[in-house]
Chain A
Amino acid sequence: MIEQQYIDLFENYRRDLDANSSEGMNRHRDSAFDTFKQIGFPTSRMEDYKHSNIVRVFDADLGLNIRNIPVPVNPYEAFKCDVPNLNTHTYFLINDRFYNEVEQRKSLPEGVYAGGMRQFSEQYPEQFQKYYTQIADSNGNGIVAYNTMFAQDGFVIYVPKNVAVEKPLQLINILRGGVDLNVNRRLLIIAEENAHVKLLVCDHAVDDVKFVVTQVTEIFADVSAQVDVYELEENSEKVTRLNNLFSEQKDKSKVVTSSITLHNGYTRNNFRFRLLGAHAEAHAGGLAICDKEQHIDNFAVLDHSKPNCMSDELFKTVLDDKATGVFCGKILVEKDAQKTLAYQTNRNLLNSENAQMFAKPQLEIYADDVKCSHGLTTGHLDEDSLFYMRSRGIEKEEARLLLLVAFTRDVVDLIRIPSLQERLTSLINKRFRGELMRCGNCNVCK
């Protein structure tokens, strides 16, 4: 059993885990451990993981930095953010730890917290306990249970009632290590009533070792709150990213997420959106560009339980070489969720004979007065469009690139930070041109 070594590790190092974290996080380890012992890692025998056999990535000799041995890096040197127009408050997680070497003087609005999770759990114990592990459900999700067992730090944003953070926040996750490493990171975003915040999360692997990363993000949007979370993955081919994003929304709130994989190894993104108040809106975008033997699996659940809510999913995949893509989108409309509007679109482009895409829309509707739709296509670039462009003198390869970038356009358009849209378009362009081979730096900031 692959799980056994992690069960032993947890039992043997429990004291070190606790000593290098906070009481607020520690108190959740036991129940997560019980769950993990029961269900273990997901395997491809489970329907929802049919095309991503997660358990096998843990069948390796991975190190965990349980004792919080400092990793030598100064992100402020390595990732100086001086891009015009992309003006953000910048924070760093080195592997799973909040980077706090330099005193950060951020001009955040009064009462807003953005920073390390350990510190937050001590400074705001009440708020922390109200949300931590309460939104991310580890029942039936072995990765979330595993993450809760081992997570020792992370990043928290807390925006109190009626406060709008105008400038976007940017969290740069840096993976560093001299040996193959397992990293378990945690994000918590709390937006109280009528609070507004936007977060951009960038993932970067610096060292050329194997990383297995679990990340659990919990988002809470109270009445009329607006939360945007954009994730940009630029990792090496040796990185496995197991991401779980959970969002809960109250009345009239709006949550916009977009998960963009520009460069990766093996990625599984789980999204679960729960619309728990009336007139709430959720927009979930996703784009993955994969080639070689890269793997992307986007799994999204949209749960409508109250009336008059709206959800819109747009996921796109571009696959080349022997890359594999998976998309599964579940829309659940519960009995009381009358007048629901739920849309789902999944479009996939195969640029080689050997690329594979598995796509599955699932709609479960128990209310009778709803509008739900889903559309799914998988195919090649349109030959007529190509010819049309060539007939105007545009080189075949150039026309192909223009069409590929055009294919990604509506996902980029979902992002509500115009300067980030521009930056992303240019990165996507470079990615298709093969000029974005491997990330050794923050491309958003370069």
Chain B
Amino acid sequence: MLKIKNLHAIVENQEILKGVNLEVKPGEIHAVMGPNGSGKSTLASVLAGHPKFEVTRGSILFKDKDLLEMEPEDRAREGLFLSFQYPVEIPGVSMVNFMRAAINEQRKYKGEQPISATDFLKLMRDKRELLGMDSQLVSRSVNEGFSGGEKKKNEIFQMAMINPLLAILDETDSGLDIDALRVVAAGVNKLQTKENATILITHYQRLLEYIKPDFVHVLYDGKIIKSGGADLALELESKGYEWLINP
């Protein structure tokens, strides 16, 4: 589904990614871990197409299409979803209008008719319940005045609404208390099927207690320096990153 080869990326003339290789297949859950400043969020931003980052070398194929050639909106329509580390507040745009626009643009891309009002409301209600979100939140402006935890829940709510092929969750666990973490993890698990895949970007092993990864990768200084199974996360939890960085 996703093939990243020798990816180099810069931001403000500083090279952050220095040759990342990663392959994700349908049905898989990958965890990307690593200390602060290793390039985890940059990798997520580059995949989503943030204009601030420039790819200088390497390639990314998504469903055998050149991802780097696509606008951010087309990447989303092809099935890529980024759960933001810092979701943006958009005063004046209601969650309802935002979601309806997102869903209808995706449907248009697939040559489908806009969603009917009743189907849309039902979808909203179902997914809201899945995440245990207050109906008040959904009637407000996008993320405006939401707490840190509510914003993260709202990201997963949007993911549930859009139902992407590949979800990239950038530090979704940060800012969540243990109850919220359980709800969010349960939501992610419910959305996981044989057809879609997830990349979890996280600092801590904590999230991986609730969402079981098939692969764990350690990103350090812009490269993946170690890959392994779910056990690797546990090893990192007890030993830290130091043994990998300075063996």
Chain A residues with a Cβ under 8 A of chain B: 382-385, 387-396, 398-399, 402-403, 405-410
The answer to whether B88 and A385 have CB atoms under 8 Å apart is yes
The answer to whether B101 and A391 have CB atoms under 8 Å apart is no
Q: Which residue of B lies closest to A383 (CB)?
A: B51
The answer to whether B73 and A409 have CB atoms under 8 Å apart is no
The answer to whether B76 and A402 have CB atoms under 8 Å apart is no
A388 surroundings in chain B (CB, below 8 A): 84, 87-88, 90
Nearest Cβ distance between residue B9 and chain A, in whole angstroms? Answer: 16
The answer to whether B72 and A391 have CB atoms under 8 Å apart is yes
Complex formed: what's the CA distance from A410 to B91 in Å? Answer: 9
Residues A393 and B105 in contact in the complex (CB < 8 Å), given A384-B88, A387-B50, A388-B87? yes
Extra inter-chain contacts (10) besides given A385-B88, A392-B162, A395-B73, CB under 8 Å: A389-B101, A390-B76, A393-B109, A393-B162, A394-B101, A396-B73, A402-B98, A406-B92, A406-B93, A410-B92
The answer to whether A393 and B92 have CB atoms under 8 Å apart is no
Complex formed: what's the CA distance from A180 to B109 in Å? Answer: 51
The answer to whether A394 and B90 have CB atoms under 8 Å apart is no
Complex formed: what's the CA distance from A405 to B141 in Å? Answer: 13
Would you mind naming 22 contact pairs between A and B with Cβ atoms under 8 Å apart? A382-B88, A385-B90, A388-B87, A389-B93, A390-B71, A391-B75, A391-B81, A393-B76, A393-B77, A393-B105, A393-B106, A393-B109, A394-B73, A394-B105, A395-B73, A399-B73, A402-B101, A403-B90, A406-B92, A406-B93, A406-B141, A408-B92
The answer to whether A387 and B51 have CB atoms under 8 Å apart is yes
Q: Which residue of B lies closest to A409 (CB)?
A: B92
Chain B residues with a Cβ under 8 A of chain A: 48-51, 71-73, 75-77, 81-82, 84, 87-88, 90-93, 97-98, 101-102, 105-106, 109, 141, 158, 162
Complex formed: what's the CA distance from A384 to B84 in Å? Answer: 11
Complex formed: what's the CA distance from A68 to B76 in Å? Answer: 63
The answer to whether A403 and B101 have CB atoms under 8 Å apart is no
A396 surroundings in chain B (CB, below 8 A): 71, 73
The answer to whether B87 and A391 have CB atoms under 8 Å apart is no
Nearest Cβ distance between residue B43 and chain A, in whole angstroms? Answer: 15
A398 surroundings in chain B (CB, below 8 A): 101, 105
A393 surroundings in chain B (CB, below 8 A): 73, 76-77, 102, 105-106, 109, 162
Complex formed: what's the CA distance from A410 to B106 in Å? Answer: 29
Complex formed: what's the CA distance from A407 to B109 in Å? Answer: 27
Complex formed: what's the CA distance from A384 to B45 in Å? Answer: 12
Complex formed: what's the CA distance from A170 to B72 in Å? Answer: 46
Q: Which residue of A lies closest to B89 (CB)?
A: A385
Complex formed: what's the CA distance from A409 to B144 in Å? Answer: 14
Complex formed: what's the CA distance from A396 to B74 in Å? Answer: 10
The answer to whether A392 and B158 have CB atoms under 8 Å apart is yes
The answer to whether A390 and B72 have CB atoms under 8 Å apart is yes
- Nearest first, the 6 A-B pairs at minimum CB distance are A406-B92, A393-B76, A409-B92, A392-B102, A388-B88, A390-B72
Complex formed: what's the CA distance from A443 to B227 in Å? Answer: 63
Q: Which residue of B lies closest to A402 (CB)?
A: B93
Q: Which residue of A lies closest to B76 (CB)?
A: A393
Complex formed: what's the CA distance from A184 to B51 in Å? Answer: 52
Nearest Cβ distance between residue B97 and chain A, in whole angstroms? Answer: 7
Complex formed: what's the CA distance from A403 to B106 in Å? Answer: 19
The answer to whether B73 and A390 have CB atoms under 8 Å apart is yes
A402 surroundings in chain B (CB, below 8 A): 93, 97-98, 101
